[in-house]
Structure 1
Amino acid sequence: MMPAQGPQRRLLDSLNSTPTATPYLGLATNQTGPWCLQVSIPDGLFLSLGLVSLVENVLVVVAIAKNHNLHSPMYCFICCLALSDLLVSVSIVLETTVILLLEAGALATQAAVMQQLDNVIDVLICGSMVSSLCFLVAIAVDRYISIFYALRYHSIVTLSRARWAIMAIWVASILSSTLFIAYYNHTAVLLCLVTFFLAMLALMAVLYVHMLTRACHHAQGITRLHKKQRPTHQGFCLKGAATLTILLGIFFLCWGPFFLHLTLIVLCPQHPTCSCVFKNLNLFLALIIFNSIVDPLIYAFRSQELRMTLKEVLLCSW
């Protein structure tokens, strides 16, 4: 039996039908020294994180679907982000459950069937990750337009255009994830994924930093108009900077290690230090699931109207 390298491709490893998803890992992991730190993430933790994310994002989708006042482009993007995170959770929960059943001997099926199931789950996981990143950027773009083009916002960001953008993101995510799973052992595919992540991170950083700068200038103008003291303006900017740091920091800390893993596969697949990083793939995937838990707290639950709708849903006040 091949050693497990994380939820992806572990179904096939359990059946000993194919090697791991990353062809370099089997050779590289044997070259790590005793100093290598490997964080063990049990399957039960994957299952628990997935279930928490599942519940959170289902509540977001239900609340937005129930309240017609939340059917604006911004909330459509938030709803799709919740759906993407929901797919991540469902994929992890499904694959982890099947793994546990296989290990317990409660599930018996042919290797060919399990291979097809594993491919479908891998496409689902990869596609949901790509769409999640895209919708995070879509939310940032929507907020940017609402600030810098406030008077023209409703003519620029229409519900029809938002739907077309959402459709394009889902189609692109499915196609790109299918190609990735089909050609996962090609260096060009990994480089494309890493470049995509860096581009999304850079775009989000530029948009949010520009929005923060505009907000600080606006606050400074109000301070001068009312002849208030400078600490008021500085306090607002410091609070905004702290919020921006948390937002981008969580994004980078949750997604960065996984894409660093992909980068090192290309740069140093057999180096002992890189091999040590490869051993922690489970941890990197757990961080992505954790991000799907944090996203509703950042983008959805801060809305008072959504919280009120959610309260009605939980109290069954239809």
Structure 2
Amino acid sequence: MSSMNSSHNHSSTFILIGIPGLEAADIWISIPFCGMYIMACIGNCIILYIIKTERSLHEPMYYFLSMLAVTDLVLTTSISPKMLAIFWFHSNEIYFDACLIQLFFVHCFSFIESGVILAMAIDRYVAICNPLRHSVILSNPVVIRIGLLILIRGVLFSIPFCFLLIRLPFCSNKVIMFSYCGHGIVAKLACADTFINTVYGQTVANLVVGFDVIFIVLSYVMILRVIFRLPTWAARLKAFSTCGSHICVILIFYILALFTFLPHSSGHSIPLYVHVIVSNLYLLVPPMFNPIVYGVRTKQIRSRVLALVHFNRSK
């Protein structure tokens, strides 16, 4: 009876390994990860500051970019401090409640990021296919509603992850062979049937990502149809160039997502440490690169960044 009570005790701690098999190289691995986290924080904060202070950027495309920047900040901060604490201070323990909070934020804001990328695709579709009514179709109230819908979707799909784990008993093995808590990773440690957890996790991931990817592809199919009807190649290139930053963001996010979730469906055919590293990159690389992509490719943001740098140097 006492063993049964202890197995249902959720007040104990789990042990996060970090990157299995590469513990001796923790310090060296932490250097690029820390650099990516710092760059993500600085880059996204700069994007938010420029959009807030530059009135000419108060339009749907940049409102969605602000949502993306906030999402990236939350997403990378949900794993990076604890991961760096593991690498630097061997702070491997994490309370069950803290583990639930971390996995909630990881899943919730991954869904939100996918939703924001879809919203940006819709914005590009309206801007190119119906430019005269762009400000009417995507008015400020509509943008706010889209943002709230994306947030609510992420929260509603992520809350069940926590409840599905709370109901499970956990026995003596509480070693998580990962650098952060994820629903599927933690569920594997339970000494009970996790079929419902597996079905829900895979179903939600396929529904959310599948829905978003399908409508992103449809948006760009219609965008390309309009672009190729333009009379000159110069006009086509100019119209398509407005989508360049967004296409880069799509490729970075979904390619890394593919390599992150592929081992789950292929029987873990790759080494575990490779899977862990790719999973960390999935939550670090897009937040780092998104502000760089938009900073380099968007004239208004690029000019404001250069003006800020020049102003600081002239002081």
TM-score w.r.t. structure 2 length?
0.70
State the Cα deviation string for residues 58-85 of structure 1 (Å, max 9, x = none): 1111111111222212211000101111
Stretch deviating more after TM superposition (95-104 or 54-63) = 95-104
For the aligned residues, what is the CA RMSD? 3.6
Aligned CA distance change for structure 1 residues 47 and 175 (closer, same or farther; 3 Å): farther
**Inter-partner Cα distance in structure 1 for 2:295 and 2:154:** 22
SS class of match (1:276): coil
Shift of residue 217 of structure 1?
Answer: 1.9
Shift of residue 182 of structure 1?
Answer: 3.7
**Inter-partner Cα distance in structure 1 for 2:254 and 2:298:** 24
Shift of residue 313 of structure 1?
Answer: 4.1
Counterpart for residue 202 of structure 1? 214
**Inter-partner Cα distance in structure 2 for 1:241 and 1:157:** 17
State the Cα deviation string for residues 273-311 of structure 1 (Å, max 9, x = none): x25365433222233111222222334542222223333
Matched, 1:129 2:110: yes
Counterpart for residue 157 of structure 2? 176
Aligned length, in residue pairs: 262
SS class of match (1:217): coil
Aligned CA distance change for structure 1 residues 102 and 247 (closer, same or farther; 3 Å): closer
Counterpart for residue 7 of structure 1? none
Matched, 1:298 2:300: no
State the Cα deviation string for residues 234-267 of structure 1 (Å, max 9, x = none): 9889989998975654343222112223434xxx
Pairing of 1:1-318 with structure 2 (within 5 A) = 12-14=14-16, 42-100=29-87, 102-103=89-90, 114-183=95-164, 184=183, 185=187, 186-191=197-202, 192-218=204-230, 221-222=231-232, 248-264=250-266, 268=267, 274-276=268-270, 278-288=272-282, 289-314=284-309, 315=311
Counterpart for residue 23 of structure 1? none
SS class of match (1:280): helix
Shift of residue 144 of structure 1?
Answer: 0.3
Shift of residue 178 of structure 1?
Answer: 2.7
SS class of match (1:13): strand
Aligned CA distance change for structure 1 residues 240 and 299 (closer, same or farther; 3 Å): closer
**Inter-partner Cα distance in structure 2 for 1:217 and 1:301:** 28
Aligned CA distance change for structure 1 residues 93 and 69 (closer, same or farther; 3 Å): same
Mapped contact 1:205–1:248 kept (Cα < 8 A): no
**Greater relative contact order: 1 or 2 (C-alpha under 8 angstroms, separation 6 or more)?**
1
**Inter-partner Cα distance in structure 1 for 2:140 and 2:215:** 23
**Inter-partner Cα distance in structure 2 for 1:147 and 1:58:** 29
Gaps of 5+ in 2: 1-12, 21-25, 165-182, 188-196
TM-score w.r.t. structure 1 length?
0.69
